Amino acid sequence: MTDTLFLTSDDVDDLAEPADYVAAVREGYRQIGEGAPAEPRTKLGSEDPPGMLTTYVALLPETGAMGGYTYSAGFGERDAWFMTPLFDADSGEPLALIDGASMNPFKTGAAGAVAVDALAREDATEIAVIGSGSQARGQLRAAATVRPFEAVRVFSPTAENRESFAAEFDDRLDADVRAVASASEALSDADVVITATTSSDPVIDDNDVEAGTHVTAMGQYAPGKNELPPELVARATYIPDLSDRATRDAGSFLAAREAGLVDEGHAAVELGDVVAGTRPGRTGDEEVTVFDSGGTGIETVAAAHMLYERAREDGLGETIEFAPASEALTGR
């Protein structure tokens, strides 16, 4: 038997700040860029009741951990449940089983922030946020740790939501944070753009994205999810988290490919390549860059291992026992 740490969402909720997530996730992507393995998500769908079971995994040898997410969404309760199994990359033993719900916006936001740090211009000071939910909040909190933004403009279709978002971050950040009435107004003079929606249609106009802008899009995680216009995908230096994922289920990329504007080679350079320095990202101040953040096991394992280590230091969680197959299969 081996002892495994079970951590609830409450256990890990306050263990790390956004900058801590960013540091852990950046290290994870560096390892991927230097050859560590990660696989895109696998999804199994159900029509009755409607729902989806999803998994994705990564192995980070220098971190010493491997694992990923297994989560369900929809089904009878119309909710989502995030399980994060974490294994030791040397022995293979299970280290932890973590309720991954509370860390989700932080680890996803950290991936976006790593991309902002790697791809946005060094002098970026204005950021536009399209969306006002938990993922948009996670993206902005993390991005603000890698660039000293002076102005933040947020748009979402519901005025109450964008006003609430702006009020929260006006208190949280040392920046002028304003809710605006349109995506076009949000993008005016923006150096960085975050799209964090569940939209089936583009939420920004290609003409509103100025030369030199960096865009992080994290709402194109299925063929029908299409936050970005095809023309923007085509003219940008397009960097996905994983190329194999982008060419399978990134809605905006697939729409651009279907329109004949790009081929699969347009998404050949991954964020890990840029972080590791093995392939170029931004090469000029006038270049438009896009990070396609659809979700991977890279940020999940990196964040989960950081939380596991901190929980052990703080004596948090409950120990559960797992039987190795050598004992369980022969002990009966």
pLDDT tens string 265-307: 999 999 999 999 999 999 999 999 999 999 999 999 999 999 9
Note the Cα 115 to chain centre separation in Å: 10
Residues in a beta bridge with 109:
none
**pLDDT attached to residue 224:** 79
Mean pLDDT to the nearest integer, 150-163: 97
**pLDDT attached to residue 327:** 83
**Using H for helix, E for strand and C for coil, what is the string for 186-222?**
HHCCCCEEEECCCCCCCCCCHHHCCCCCEEEECCCCC
Q: Which residue in 226, 304, 237 sits closest to 271, CA to CA?
A: 237
Domains and CATH numbers, the chain: 2-104+297-328 (3.30.1780.10), 112-292 (3.40.50.720)
One DSSP character per residue, 232-269 reads HHHHSEEEES-HHHHHHH-HHHHHHHHTTS--GGGG-S
Query: Does residue 119 contact residue 289 with C-beta atoms inside 8 Å?
Result: yes
Mean pLDDT to the nearest integer, 104-121: 97
Percent of the chain with pLDDT over 70: 99
Q: What is the pTM of this model?
A: 0.95
Q: How far apart are CA 23 and CA 309, in angstroms?
A: 14
**pLDDT attached to residue 189:** 95
**pLDDT attached to residue 255:** 93
**pLDDT attached to residue 332:** 54
Mean pLDDT to the nearest integer, 232-254: 94
Q: How far apart are CA 224 and CA 198, in angstroms?
A: 9
Residues 6+ apart with CB under 8 A from 33: 270, 271, 272, 273, 274, 275, 276, 277, 278, 279
**Using H for helix, E for strand and C for coil, what is the string for 53-80?**
EEEEEEEECCCCEEEEEEEEEECCCCEE
Query: Does residue 81 contact residue 91 with C-beta atoms inside 8 Å?
Result: no
Query: Confidence band (pLDDT; 50, 70, 90) for 13?
Result: very high
**pLDDT attached to residue 179:** 98
